[in-house]
Chain A
Amino acid sequence: MVERKTVRRQLRLLPVVPSVLLILLFLAAPVLWSFHASFTNAALTGRSARNPAWIGVENYERLLGDSAFPVSVVLTIVFVVASAVVGQNLLGLLIAGLMTRARKPVSAVVGTAVVAAWVLPEIVAAFAAYAYFSKDGTLNQLLGGAGVAGADWLYAYPMMAVVLANIWRGTAFSMLVYRAALADVPQDISEAALMDGAAGWQRLVFITLPLIRSSIATNLMLVTLQTLAVFTLIWVMTAGGPSNASTTLPVLAYQEAFKFGDIGYGTAIASVLIVLGLVFGIAYVRLLKDKR
């Protein structure tokens, strides 16, 4: 009787099986395979495509010796910090803050404009950004109208162009998070501070920001992860160029694996990214656990 009960109890978990199988086969297996393949000389074509040989930490040694890798790490950090941590995060907070003061129709229209860039398919957003920053694109038209000489942004300042494009593309997420967070801030606290004569920035720094700090932490974590994985935007706008000037880690991994056919080396780069993602993921989970 007792046994039947435990069996029944375990049978209850049966519906979880399809999800677990899918996740194990398509997410966990590639992650494990990535770590394994990064220790081999697996290639896209040729003999080592069928029978990759174990070469130990050679790929990782090459990674450290390869001049492209440190450059790529720096570019990735610049991209994430400038476009996500600073750009999307602060701009999203600013927009959400302004929306609590602005007229309702204005908030609605501007909210739609910001969200539009985010909802569009990534490749369309990338084309639009490409056209905007290209030599005879909209940005140079605007600058020309103001009497300022433009530049060929995608070649002269590729990182700046992709950073700005990613801010444009991704700010909506931060805006939505902060709108929800600010709506939860009790109005009477802020009003009491207003009565006590606190200036706008004082209320922001001493009241609003501490109240929404867990949303800020969550948002920072999520936008960092999303930005770390950006590929299409950069691939369409600059393809990592000119000469690796905008090659972030995802682009570098793609190039090594598919352009140069070195799957082993590509997976070594991918493994670095996966570890980074897992570190952030674990930090994010702990953050949510603490919140409870």
Chain B
Amino acid sequence: MTTASRRPLDEASRRARHGDATSAGGRRARGPADAALLLIGACFLLPLLWLVFGSLDAEAGYETRLPASPSLTNYSAVLTPELLLGPLWNSLLLSGGTATATVAAAVLAAYPLSRFQSRFNRPFMYSILCGTCLPITAIMVPVYGLFVQLRLLDSLPATVLFMAATALPMAIWMTKNFMDAVPVSLEEAAWVDGASGLTALRAVVLPLMRQGLGVVFIFVFIQTWGNFFVPFILLLSPSKQPASVSIFSFFGQHGAIAYGQLAAFSILYSVPVLVLYVLVARGAGGSFALSGAVKG
């Protein structure tokens, strides 16, 4: 359809060629490579086993063991409005709001950067790239100070805007790369028909880069959903805190007793991002998403 959506196919075909060449060249080496990989994979899965087994075990501790009598009691215990559903709703508001704001701002910014030549473009893009390198944990102390001064502490909209700002450098970078892949000729046709720049953006460019925008949106959503430190510092009242923070207080209060519930809470909280990740990886290919980010 467009270059943007054709790229994963190229990637796949190149991979396939690559795979053929390997099978011809090094069939002998396959057994050991398989074994080594499986061993590494097992090491990576081990820490996660506890979560799964523990969540099904009403008498779970820190050891990993098959539940003697598997049950869903842990899940039903945490599936209450105040314990899980409220915080999950807050997480959804925070992540959805941040991803929407980020994508909206990034699309607007990427359009002139991608379409019009200007001597500001290169310095701007390089400062943006430099901004992606700012360690966010490092600025949380000053951000707290700033939020106190501006009386923005404990405000969900302000937290959303802050998290959007932290995600923006990467999002602008990715969005511009995706937009560069949409041919200008299509817009020129729209301009000839009298459409303004922004109308052309909405009617021609955005539909063609839907997939790329989806990647950016999900990328920001996953990042925000999993973020603990920022809402931990900026949101004070429990009724506004997302699941990442409430699970931490739960752990402090009950975690030392209710290991199984902690595991069940963790799993329910993780499922949405796992699903979203699979969606991106399946639909667009992990390396496709990464190419938008790393490609210069």
Cross-chain contact of B145 among A42, A103, A129 (Cβ < 8 A): A42
Give the number of chain B interface residues (Cβ < 8 Å).
102
Contact mask A249-268 → B, CB, 8 Å, 1/0?
Answer: 11001100110000100110
| Minimum Cβ distance to chain B for residue A58 (Å) | 17
Check B61 for interface membership: any CB of A closer than 8 A.
yes
Cross-chain contact of B64 among A33, A107, A138, A236 (Cβ < 8 A): A138
| Minimum Cβ distance to chain A for residue B22 (Å) | 6
- B108 to A121, Cβ gap below 8 A? no
Cross-chain contact of B46 among A27, A33, A106, A138 (Cβ < 8 A): A138
With a cutoff of 8 Å between Cβ atoms, the chain B residues found around residue A211 in the complex are none
- A23 to B165, Cβ gap below 8 A? yes
Cross-chain contact of B33 among A34, A101, A236, A249 (Cβ < 8 A): A101
Check B137 for interface membership: any CB of A closer than 8 A.
yes
Residue of A nearest to B158 (CB): A26
| Minimum Cβ distance to chain A for residue B96 (Å) | 16
- Contact stretch, chosen from B70-78, B203-211, B287-295: B287-295
| Minimum Cβ distance to chain A for residue B146 (Å) | 5
Contact mask A199-237 → B, CB, 8 Å, 1/0?
Answer: 010000000000000000010000001001111100010
Q: How far apart sit A179 and B37, CA to CA, in the bound complex (Å)?
A: 14
Interface SS, B side: helix
With a cutoff of 8 Å between Cβ atoms, the chain B residues found around residue A124 in the complex are 51, 226, 247, 266, 269-270
Check A131 for interface membership: any CB of B closer than 8 A.
yes
Q: How far apart sit A186 and B129, CA to CA, in the bound complex (Å)?
A: 29
The A119-155 residues at the B interface (CB cut-off 8 A) are 119-124, 127-129, 131-132, 134-138, 141-142
- B287 to A183, Cβ gap below 8 A? yes
| Minimum Cβ distance to chain B for residue A116 (Å) | 6
- B126 to A110, Cβ gap below 8 A? no
The B210-249 residues at the A interface (CB cut-off 8 A) are 222, 225-229, 233, 244, 247-248
Q: How far apart sit A34 and B33, CA to CA, in the bound complex (Å)?
A: 49
With a cutoff of 8 Å between Cβ atoms, the chain A residues found around residue B109 in the complex are 15-16, 18-20
Cross-chain contact of B108 among A19, A25, A30, A285 (Cβ < 8 A): A19
- B294 to A218, Cβ gap below 8 A? yes
With a cutoff of 8 Å between Cβ atoms, the chain B residues found around residue A276 in the complex are 135
Check A194 for interface membership: any CB of B closer than 8 A.
yes
Check A71 for interface membership: any CB of B closer than 8 A.
no
| Minimum Cβ distance to chain B for residue A96 (Å) | 10
Contact mask A272-289 → B, CB, 8 Å, 1/0?
Answer: 011011101110110011
With a cutoff of 8 Å between Cβ atoms, the chain A residues found around residue B273 in the complex are 119-121
- B30 to A102, Cβ gap below 8 A? yes
Interface SS, A side: helix
Contact mask B52-75 → A, CB, 8 Å, 1/0?
Answer: 001000000111100000000000
Check B131 for interface membership: any CB of A closer than 8 A.
yes
- B19 to A285, Cβ gap below 8 A? no
Cross-chain contact of B287 among A23, A113, A135, A176 (Cβ < 8 A): A176
Q: A23-B131, A106-B37 are in contact. Are A127 and B138 (CB under 8 A)?
A: no
Residue of A nearest to B14 (CB): A183
| Minimum Cβ distance to chain B for residue A158 (Å) | 17
| Minimum Cβ distance to chain A for residue B120 (Å) | 7
Cross-chain contact of A121 among B64, B111, B244 (Cβ < 8 A): B244
- B105 to A22, Cβ gap below 8 A? yes
| Minimum Cβ distance to chain A for residue B129 (Å) | 5
Q: How far apart sit A132 and B287, CA to CA, in the bound complex (Å)?
A: 30
- B168 to A23, Cβ gap below 8 A? yes
- Sample (14) of A-B pairs whose CB atoms are under 8 Å apart: A9-B118, A13-B118, A18-B105, A42-B145, A119-B277, A120-B274, A131-B50, A132-B46, A254-B140, A257-B141, A277-B135, A281-B132, A284-B129, A288-B296
A23-B165, A106-B38, A229-B137 known; 7 new pairs, CB 8 Å cut-off, are A13-B118, A13-B120, A19-B105, A27-B131, A120-B273, A123-B247, A127-B51
